[in-house]
Amino acid sequence: MRRSYKDSRAPLAGFLEDQAAVADGLLSLYEATFDPRWLDEVRDLVREMLAAFWDEDAAAFFDTAKDQEQLVVRPQDVTDNAIPSGTSLAVDVLLRAGLLLGEPSWTDRARLTLERLAPTAAKAPLAFGRLLAALDFHLGRVVELADRVDIYEHSQHPYTKALLSSIPVPDPLVERDREPLLIKGEIPSPVNPPSGCRFHTRCPIARVPGICSEVEPELEPHGHRDQEAACHFAGEA
Ligand code: SF4
């Protein structure tokens, strides 16, 4: 990958942020379209990114590739600004792509980076916005698994239903009369989640006190074919 292009010339090699940002965009494209060719592109890009910018001994990403011009110090800017740092983008991509492509070693590298930067991010959180968003994703749980048709047409988990209900309908007459399923209340701390089901403080059908606040639901078969949901009352919302 090249950093810039003009008049048929692309003199500069790409940096970590270039590689990670393109992988991030392709991953978002896959998430929006479910077209597997974007995921194939992401797989190749992530492998190249790890080979060029990840240093196994330092357990860290560097901004320049291993085969780029040798500098006095190999740069490693980890702070997020108007543009996120290459490290934050790479961590975010590794977490999402690692889950989608079943690559636990990618998730492990992202976790190592998060653990290393956590003390600094705790002191200056405003300088690590994108990294903290990736951490929030990492601390969350998968609550429903289904193919793209079932997730839209037969969602089982109340949280999935609420998320889908928040998408506006592109028809003003339908949208005017529609009543979206609203989730009320504050998002609980992912570091200190509530007992039982993490969603029980905001779930519109929670049985509290009762099983929802006492027993954490596991992913189990519900709905169609290979569909799974982590909810004691899946399908009831
Ligand atoms: S387990 Fe209970 S609180 Fe959790 S999503 Fe299901 S109904 Fe809601």
Please report the pLDDT score of residue 111 as a whole number: 96
Evaluate: CB of 198 within 6 angstroms of ligand 1: no
Ligand 1: does its nearest atom lie under 6 Å from the Cβ of 162?
no
Question: What residues in the chain have per-residue pLDDT under 70?
Answer: none
Question: Looking at residue 192, what is its pLDDT?
Answer: 86
Is residue 222 in contact with ligand 1, taking CB distance under 6 Å? no
Ligand 1 pocket residue status of 200, Cβ below 6 Å:
yes
Return all residues near 17 (Cβ < 8 A) that are at least 6 apart.
63, 83, 84, 85, 86, 89
**Are the C-beta atoms of residues 73 and 4 closer than 8 Å to each other?**
no
Distance 164 CA to ligand 1 centre (A): 17
Percent of the chain with pLDDT over 90: 75
Ligand 1 centre to CA of 54 (Å) is 40
- pLDDT attached to residue 69: 82
Residue with CA at minimum distance from ligand 1 atom 7: 206
pLDDT of 162: 93
CA–CA separation, 30 and 147 (whole Å): 14
Distance 197 CA to ligand 1 centre (A): 6
According to the model, what pLDDT value does residue 116 have?
A: 95
* pLDDT in the model for residue 119: 95
**pTM recorded for the entire structure:** 0.83
Close Cβ partners of 89 (under 8 Å, ≥ 6 residues apart): 16, 17, 20, 21, 23, 24, 130
Rounded distance between C-alpha atoms, residue 98 and residue 107, angstroms: 6
With a 6 Å cutoff on the Cβ, whether 196 touches ligand 1 is no
